[in-house]
Amino acid sequence: MPSPAQSAVWGLLAVAASAGAQTKSIEPGSPAPPLSVKHWLKGKPVTSLAKNGVYVIEFWATWCLPCAEEMPHVTALARANPDITFIGVGIWEEWDAVKHPRFVAKMGQKMGYRVGYSGDQDGMAETWMKAGFRDSIPSAFVVKDGHVMWMGHPRLLDKPLAEIKAGTFDLAAFKSEQQKRRAKVQWGFDAAAALEAAQKLRREGKVEASNQALASAVEEFPENEIAAESIRFSWLADEDPVAWETKARSYATGEDSKRLTILNKFALARVAKPNGIPIARKALLIALEGTGWKEPNTLTFGTSIFATLKEDQMELRAVRALLEVWPESWTDVEEERTRLRAREVELTAKLKRG
């Protein structure tokens, strides 16, 4: 299971990915949208959904640790139901001809079903996930006879899949349940869209208008306050690096965990952008040094970012520090410690080899 820091990052990315123009919605009982897979990575390609078959469509991304954790479960279901076609569809990140195939190869038999990539915020991210009011991954859809029957977290898939297959699934009850959920998700979409509108104005060079739009986004959706501060922090990095560094250090040494998370998220977001590595690394080091290499969430970000940068020595330092402070309140404590110890051994051996 992810740490609180990781969950915060993935939730932010999910809402951002869902913001934007309206698209035709789908709900339980709706005709299934077409498949739209740009790159097939594993298994025989599926170009369309048969009108008399059952399918499980599971959405994932390479950066999503919970997705990777659920893949063995989805694989077990696929093996137990050979008459059902399982398809894993990558979304919410740009296509990478090296990273995506490597991820699938690394997962191996833990990802034992067809796998493809659809797009970042386009393709099935729009026509399935956004249309189905799914605001996080991993997410799965079950399609039977050309209609969407169920959507939800893959961990909850076993019972509805068995009932759909047997013809005993209560579609009306599930539809009613989903309609209650949609209002909350729509609010999240609208809040994210308000933030995106302000950022769009900034990209167009309309500084004052973007400031006003961001203020309005917080006024209309008060829960946007921290996200808005994160956006201002990102703008500051581009427009006044000296002031940005002063604020970054205040975030790192202050007692407000939300501001520290803004700094950590900034580092994670920038490391993936062209020319973003220097400031991402600087932000991460400010966060680590400001917390004395003892804050678990920051160290979690550190292990991930240093791994991305292929800085083995720094990643090893972060892994060892995280092992010392991993909170007992976090889920799967022993499992995560085992994973970190294995990574520690791997990095130590690699550094010895030179």
Please check the confidence at residue 44 and state whether its pLDDT lies above 60.
yes
Which residues, at least 6 apart from 352, have a Cβ–Cβ distance to it below 8 Å? none
d(CA 93, CA 339): 25
d(CA 304, CA 271): 10
Mean pLDDT (the chain) is 91
- What 3-state DSSP class applies to 277? helix
Can you name the CATH fold of 4-169? Glutaredoxin (3.40.30)
- What 3-state DSSP class applies to 95? coil
Q: 119: alpha, beta or left, given left = phi > 0 and alpha = psi -120 to 50? A: left
CB 258 within 8 A of CB 250: no
**Of the ranges 21-25, 181-185, 283-287, which is most confident?**
283-287
d(CA 269, CA 265): 6
Q: Check whether the bond before 4 is cis (ω within 30° of 0).
A: no
Q: Where are the domains of the chain?
A: 4-169, 171-223, 240-353
Residue that has been written with the tokens 């309609």 in this structure: 179
Please check the confidence at residue 12 and state whether its pLDDT lies above 70.
no
pLDDT, tens only, 96-150: 999 999 999 999 999 999 999 999 989 999 999 999 999 889 999 999 999 999 9
- Please report how the helices 296-309 and 277-290 are oriented relative to each other, as an axis angle in degrees rounded to 10: 150
Largest CA distance in the chain: 63
Q: Considering Cα of 74, then 135, then 252, then 275, what sign does the dihedral take?
A: positive
What pLDDT was estimated at residue 287? 98
Instruction: Give the global pTM.
Output: 0.63
pLDDT, tens only, 229-271: 999 999 999 999 999 999 999 999 988 999 999 999 999 999 9
pLDDT, tens only, 66-78: 899 899 999 999 9
What pLDDT was estimated at residue 182? 83
| Residue 153 CB burial class (10 angstroms; 0-12, 13-18, ≥19) | middle
